[in-house]
Each structure stands twice: as C-alpha cells, then as structure tokens.
C-alpha cells in the first residue's frame, strides 16, 4: 500500500488531487485512473472525511484507493492498495482505513523522532530543532508560551560521579530560578523555575517583554539510560495540569 498526505490551502477538489496523482506516475498510467464508487461500508467508516475512490490498471499493475479530505485539520490524504482486490483483501483494506486518523481528537498533536515521543497541545507549532551527539532539542511556540523538549544520552556517562542536580546546574537554560530534587513516577527529577504572580511580571507580560514565567523539569530514566527535560516559558500564569500532562506524555522509546 501507499499513503501520501499534505495540508490544503484554499478550496479542496477531489478531481484536482486525482489529476495530481496521475502526474506523479509514469506516462503509462496517465489516462488510466478512473473514479470509483466507494462500497457502503467504506462510506460509513470514512463519514468524517470528504472521501472519493479511484482505481487504475496498466498491464500487470493495478490499485484501488481513496482520497480523503478532513475539514477539521485541512489535511488531504491519498491511500491506495496495490495488486489484488479479492473479497478477503477488501475486508483487510477496510480495516486499515478504519484505523486511519490524520489528527488527534483530544486536542493534542503527537511528535516523534528517533527515540523520543511527545504529545503537545495542538496550538504549539514547531519553531526550531537541533540534533547533536548526545542531545536533542525541539522548541515549540504558541505566541505567549514556549515549550522546549530536551533529551540527553547516555545518562550513565553524563551523570558519572555527579547527581542529576549537579548536571542541571551546568546547563544555562535550566540555571534560572530555584530548583529542588524529588522522586516522581519512580524517577529522580529536578524541578525549578516556578514563581508567583507579581505586578512586575504582569507589566512585563502586558508589554510583551521577556517571558514572566519559567518552569522546568528534568528527570532520569535509568532503564533507558536517558535524561529528559521540559522547559516552559510563558507571559501568563502556567497551567499546572498542562505541565503535568506534557511531562506524562513525553517519553523515550
């Protein structure tokens, strides 16, 4: 099978994307792609999308597929299944389509790269990233808030003859504010940067100066030999439930 997807700007047209599919293949396929009426069970399964079907055959090669458009996240997706279309395989294709989702329904977006995975509130967009030997950094921005995900490895080398607090103190981005150690979720962690609301912070936030609030958590995953860190900057008071959710959803695979 093959899956292709992308965001749509402006109006969406199934015929336009069907023509685009034709141009992505060899000349032998051009003119061979035809619209195909989706089976009733496929229509019910794909009811949340604007869906259309297509089929093509040239020589010994053939495929059956769908073009899906989601009006919520504005993603267009092309899914096609190659070769045979027996009754048994059509059931398999239907099961695959039933499992497909192009966005989360819980208001969070899943980000996964190399050995880390995190689910963040959908308003946060990827701002920049850096992958160095021993450290990954991903920064996300939502205008009035920023989230930075860190991953260090191998922890056994980085923490050699030092505590997690000693390690954190040497990192400039985590040196601000008071920090304390605790054990949470079976992991040693360092938490810091939390400070109460003040008139000065309200004034800084109003005029969009440097973020008035800072919070971070760094924890050691011994079984993974990794150190994970979350740093949040904000111009308004931080939501403790959001911070907890971000940390709970951030993991090393």
Domain total for the chain?
2
For residues 122 and 211, membership in a common domain is answered with: yes
Distance CA 249, CA 120 (A): 8
**What pLDDT does residue 199 have?**
46
For residues 128 and 234, membership in a common domain is answered with: yes
For 47, the token pair is 């009811």
At residue 222, does pLDDT exceed 70? yes
> What is the H or E stretch that residue 200 is in?
helix 199-206
Distance CA 31, CA 49 (A): 26
pTM (2 d.p.) = 0.69
DSSP assignment of 22-78: HHTS-GGGTTT-EEEPPPHHHHHHTTTSEEEEEEEEETTEEEEEEEEEETTTTEEEE
Q: Which of 78, 98, 118 is at the close of a domain?
A: 98
- Per-residue pLDDT band at 236 (split at 50, 70, 90): confident
- Domain extent, residue 182, equals 108-252
User: Is residue 85 one of the residues assigned to a domain?
Assistant: yes
Distance CA 112, CA 118 (A): 6
Comparing 207 with 50, the larger pLDDT belongs to 50
User: Is residue 103 one of the residues assigned to a domain?
Assistant: no
Q: CATH number of the domain at 244, please.
A: 3.40.1000
Distance CA 116, CA 248 (A): 13
Q: Which of 64, 98, 132 is at the close of a domain?
A: 98
Burial classification of residue 100, based on how many CB atoms lie within 10 Å of its CB (0-12 exposed, 13-18 middle, 19 or more buried): middle
For residues 83 and 124, membership in a common domain is answered with: no
For residues 238 and 129, membership in a common domain is answered with: yes
At residue 221, does pLDDT exceed 70? yes
For residues 82 and 131, membership in a common domain is answered with: no
For residues 41 and 6, membership in a common domain is answered with: yes
For residues 118 and 54, membership in a common domain is answered with: no
- Per-residue pLDDT band at 7 (split at 50, 70, 90): confident
For residues 248 and 154, membership in a common domain is answered with: yes
Contact (CB, 8 A) for 216 and 174: yes
């Amino acid at each position: 099978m093959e899956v292709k997807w992308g965001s749509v700007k402006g109006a969406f047209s199934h015929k336009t994307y069907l023509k685009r599919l034709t141009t992505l293949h060899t000349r032998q396929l051009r003119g061979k792609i035809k619209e195909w009426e989706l089976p009733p069970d496929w229509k019910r399964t794909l009811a949340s999308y604007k869906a259309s079907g297509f089929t093509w055959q040239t020589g010994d090669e053939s495929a059956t597929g769908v073009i899906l458009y989601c009006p919520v996240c504005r993603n267009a997706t092309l899914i096609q299944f190659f070769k045979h279309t027996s009754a048994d395989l059509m059931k398999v294709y239907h099961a695959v389509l039933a499992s497909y989702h192009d966005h989360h329904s819980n208001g969070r977006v899943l980000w996964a790269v190399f050995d880390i995975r995190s689910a963040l509130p959908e308003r946060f967009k990827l701002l920049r990233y850096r992958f160095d030997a021993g450290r990954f950094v991903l920064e996300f921005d939502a205008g009035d808030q920023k989230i930075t995900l860190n991953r260090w490895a191998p922890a056994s080398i980085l923490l050699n003859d030092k505590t997690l607090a000693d390690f954190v103190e040497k990192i400039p981005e985590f040196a601000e504010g008071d920090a304390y150690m605790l054990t949470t979720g079976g992991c040693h962690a360092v938490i810091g940067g939390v400070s109460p609301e003040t008139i000065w912070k309200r004034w800084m936030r109003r005029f969009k100066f440097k973020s008035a609030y800072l919070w971070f958590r760094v924890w050691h995953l011994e079984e993974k030999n990794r150190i994970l860190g979350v740093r949040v900057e904000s111009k308004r008071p931080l939501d403790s439930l959001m911070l907890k959710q971000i940390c709970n959803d951030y993991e090393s695979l």
